[in-house]
Amino acid sequence: MTLPPHAPDAPVQPIFELIEVEQVFEVPKPGRPLFSRETVGLRALDGVRLSIRKGTSLAIVGESGSGKSTLLRVLLGLDKPSGGRALYRGKPIGEARARGTGFARDVAMVYQDARGSLDPRMTIGAIIAEPLRHFNIVPREGEAARIAQLLDRVGLPADAAERFPSGLSGGQVRRVAIARALASEPSVLVADEAVSGLDVSTQAQLLTLLQSLQRDMGLTLAFITHDLGVASYLCEEIAIMYLGRIVETGPTDAVLKAPVHPYSAALRAAAPQFFEPLSEPLPGEIPSPLDLPKGCRFSTRCPVAQSDCQSKDPQLGKLGSGRAVACIHPITQA
Amino acid sequence: MSIQTPEAPTTLPPTAAPDTANRSRRSVFVRRPFFTIALIVAVAYLVAAIFAPQVAPFDPVQQDFNVMMQPPTVGHLFGTDSYGQDILSRVIYGARFALIIGIFAVLIGAAGGLVIGLAAGLSGGGSEWALMRLIDAILALPSLILAVAFIAILGQGVDKVVIAVGLSMIGPFARTVRGDVLQVRVQLFIEAAQLMSIPYLRVVWRHVLPNVIFPLAVQVTIRISEAILVSSSLSFLGIGVTPPTPDWGLMIAEGRDFVSFAPWMSAMPGFALALLLIALTIVGDGIREEFDPKLRKDP
């Protein structure tokens, strides 16, 4: 897998650009008295910097609770970030979404719970027809043909259009969800754990499908996952999140081969390998986002933490060759 | 990581082929004998009600003083009442009124409940609170009491009974609809539709409503019997339909004074009423269990 050729200096406008995005939720303060209204800010996203270039495929990887889904909701314009700027083609995402159907048509979403995202009372055909009609993509006469074509694209037989989601298997509903996402002819496909919880062969088929879609249609893909193997297979670039911040980004192969952030290294080491015993897991639990550690947020679990890690909060900084890391003492390869 | 797989399977699981679907539908009647019997009874009532003029041996309001208060005989299978009217004929015509009142009252209640329940479930905030307190107020009174109050305002007559009973049933319908709306509106497919920037009202129409209507339809079948019972109670109290309309509640009330020496006068319409209510309840339960959206595999 090679990186797409791109001139690093050319002023190409990224499709999505997140600049110091923060998302703070006000939640009831733990242990507050019964009638108190005290709240405390939960920093689900904290200083996220990310840009997604056109035609690229990006994997967003992180533990549960690291803010992946919150980031996704910001990207889709479902939630407005409480701080920082989230831009879509240079405009704030909320504005882009409010300005008619253009954004909704261009950015399609595949949910993790594909079955839940399909109306159980509609046939597959009706589900796929909905975006077709809403965005006026094909005239009514051509609708059936287009539905068959989309189903074929995701590897489902045309007669699936008559079925209800409840009559399809888990892998098939995900294909339907992908077909519906493709119906609006988007240029960006956002997928939340689109292959998790499936058996390995189905997973492989879906990954092959997504990869060929990305390649053939020139889609920009933002893929949320916790599976490094999936990320490395499908995505050219990777962003690793920890406690609401992106701690390392870069080309997937380079990052996974030689992780620079201790957390990326730990994630990499924790992935099960054939014929090898599991490596020592990271000590402790992910800290509560209600009570972020002082200094670097990873310092409490970091195996190579030093004294200044407790006092200074590192920001995501450039490292060269398209990579960036948020660490004061990045791992240097011997 | 290299994966060599063929492009996707092109077969669907061999479930729910048309003929298996038919077989399971047919076997409902075998699997639920009581449901089948109850359905036959309910359909028989319906047929008798529709073809009452053909089925009934006598005119229901024809008085014959020669055969007053006769016990059941071959000529008058259910006996006659104190005016010499044939009770069997009156029971058959009574089924007409019972079913008309029951069905239309429930439709009024369901329509009103749907509107209020949808509004309450979707609006949220202060207006939801106000609507729910209104529904609570309706629910605080038994539907019979409420129907009596509406009759007091509207006056007597079949149409008035339909309206009164229908209005008094809005409360329970609204509450169930609101519950379903609250459940449906947080579903992912609603968010997915909004993500496509489909206008909110269209999302409600296309996605919320169909997922609420079905459980409501099941409720309708179950509550028809309640509506019939309330309307008969109104007639029994003498404030529902007016004599000499052949209404079961009215007939039971008329026979009340003669119950010690002509028990058939009250017993026959009472029996007809009880049988219909039991049959409708079993049919409604059967439909609910058979088509419950949570238990259904493939519609």
The mean per-residue pLDDT over the stretch B212-231 comes to 86
Q: Is residue B297 part of a domain?
A: no
- List the domain range (segments joined by +) for residue B232: 32-51+77-291
Q: Is residue B3 part of a domain?
A: no
Residues 147-176 of A with CB under 8 A from B: 154-157, 159-160, 163-164, 166-169, 172, 175
Whether B192 sits inside 8 A of A109 (CB atoms) is: yes
A43-97 pLDDT, tens digit per residue, is 888 888 888 888 888 999 888 878 888 888 888 888 888 888 888 888 888 888 8
B224 closest CA partner among B164, B150, B279, B286: B279
Q: For residue A157, which residues of chain B lie inside 8 Å, CB to CB?
A: 10-12
A312 closest CA partner among A290, A287, A293, A284: A293
B294 touches chain A (CB under 8 A): no
Whether A121 sits inside 8 A of B211 (CB atoms) is: yes
Q: pTM of the predicted model, to two decimals?
A: 0.77
The answer to whether residue A279 scores a pLDDT higher than 80 is: no
Task: Using DSSP, state whether B84 is helix, strand or coil.
Answer: coil
User: What pLDDT sits at residue B297?
Assistant: 47
Q: Is residue B108 part of a domain?
A: yes
B167 closest CA partner among B127, B133, B138: B138
In chain B, the residue whose alpha carbon lies closest to the alpha carbon of A135 is B196
B5 touches chain A (CB under 8 A): yes
Work out the number of other CB atoms within 10 angstroms of the CB of residue A139.
9
Whether A156 sits inside 8 A of B189 (CB atoms) is: no
User: What pLDDT sits at residue A11?
Assistant: 57
Q: Is residue B191 part of a domain?
A: yes
Whether B195 sits inside 8 A of A104 (CB atoms) is: yes
**Dist CA A303 CA A300 (whole Å):** 9
Residues 183-202 of B with CB under 8 A from A: 187-189, 191-193, 195-198
**Dist CA A132 CA A153 (whole Å):** 16
Whether A164 sits inside 8 A of B299 (CB atoms) is: yes
Name the residue facing A229 among B1, B8, B192 (closest C-beta).
Answer: B1
User: What pLDDT sits at residue B25?
Assistant: 55
Q: Is residue B7 part of a domain?
A: no
The total number of structural domains in chain B stands at 1
Q: Is residue B203 part of a domain?
A: yes
**Using an 8 Å Cβ cutoff, are B80 and B87 in contact?**
yes
A201 touches chain B (CB under 8 A): yes
Q: For residue B198, which residues of chain A lie inside 8 Å, CB to CB?
A: 130, 134
Task: List the strands of the sheet with A39-52, edge to edge.
Answer: A39-52, A16-28, A83-88, A91-92
Q: Is residue B56 part of a domain?
A: no
Task: Using DSSP, state whether A117 is helix, strand or coil.
Answer: coil
A109 closest CA partner among B84, B193, B250: B193
Q: Is residue B70 part of a domain?
A: no
Q: Where are the domains of chain A?
A: 16-325
ipTM score here?
0.79
The mean per-residue pLDDT over the stretch B60-69 comes to 76
CATH of domain A16-325: 3.40.50.300
A158-213 pLDDT, tens digit per residue, is 888 888 888 888 888 988 998 999 888 888 999 888 887 778 888 888 888 888 88
Cα–Cα distances (Å) from A332 to A255, A316, A328, B83, B298, in that order, read 12, 17, 12, 108, 57
